[in-house]
Amino acid sequence: MDQIVLTGFMGAGKSTVGKILADTLALPFIDIDDEIQKEQQMPITAIFAQLGESKFRELEHKMLLQALQKNVVIATGGGIILSETNQSALKNANHVIYLKTNPQTFLTRLSGDTSRPLIQEKSPQEIQAIFDSRTHLYENTAHLIVETDNLTPHQIVDKIKNYFQRGKEQS
């Protein structure tokens, strides 16, 4: 299978970039969070509230494994990296791209966002601590790291495409 998996913290642009990248490469697009919401017929905040985070993480793992069986562009949730089994699955995926953002960038993007249960009622310092605890996990599973702060979604897609073109030229 030839999949491209986008990882990164909340607000990194995984869904936005993923849709553009999928269109550009003529591949299907799967947003794991969206698929979970469709399957459960409720928003993620409700899944966390009614079923708990551990059930959400179980659903997330199942959805990741299903998506990795397809030729597709995949946008993961920010916390998918927390599970060692997910880390292993990502390390074995074809192409994992970490969309790295500066904390100030994602704090600005997430300001006022009520759809993300893990940041509700958290201070910027608490959100920063969550980010800091995940950074090395994203980096350790990535085949490519793209720093996104000063790039538009289309520029990020261009960087990813250039990475693939260089790889094809070398093989």
pLDDT at 112: 62
User: Which of 136, 147, 21, 47 shows the shortest CA–CA distance to 87?
Assistant: 136
pLDDT, mean of residues 156-160: 96
Strands (E), the chain: 4-7, 29-31, 73-75, 95-100, 144-147
pLDDT at 128: 81
78 is in an annotated binding site: yes
Q: Phi and psi at residue 22, in whole multiples of 5°?
A: -60, -45
77 is in an annotated binding site: no
8 is in an annotated binding site: no
Each residue of 27-66: pLDDT tens digit?
A: 999 999 999 999 999 998 899 889 998 999 999 999 999 9
Round the average pLDDT of the chain to a whole number and report it. Answer: 88
User: Which of 139, 49, 34 shows the shortest CA–CA distance to 96?
Assistant: 139
Cα atoms in the 13 Å half-sphere on the side-chain side of 55: 11
Percent of the chain whose pLDDT exceeds 90? 64
Q: Distance between CA atoms of 139 and 63, rounded to whole angstroms? A: 22
Indicate the angle between helix axes 124-141 and 103-110, nearest 10 degrees: 120
Question: Which residues face 5 on adjacent strands?
Answer: 74, 96
With a cut of 60, say whether residue 79 has pLDDT above it. Answer: yes
pLDDT, mean of residues 62-72: 95
Contact 145, 139 (CB under 8 A): yes
166 is in an annotated binding site: no
26 is in an annotated binding site: no
109 is in an annotated binding site: no
What is the pTM for the complete model shown?
0.90
| CATH class of segment(s) 4-170 | alpha beta
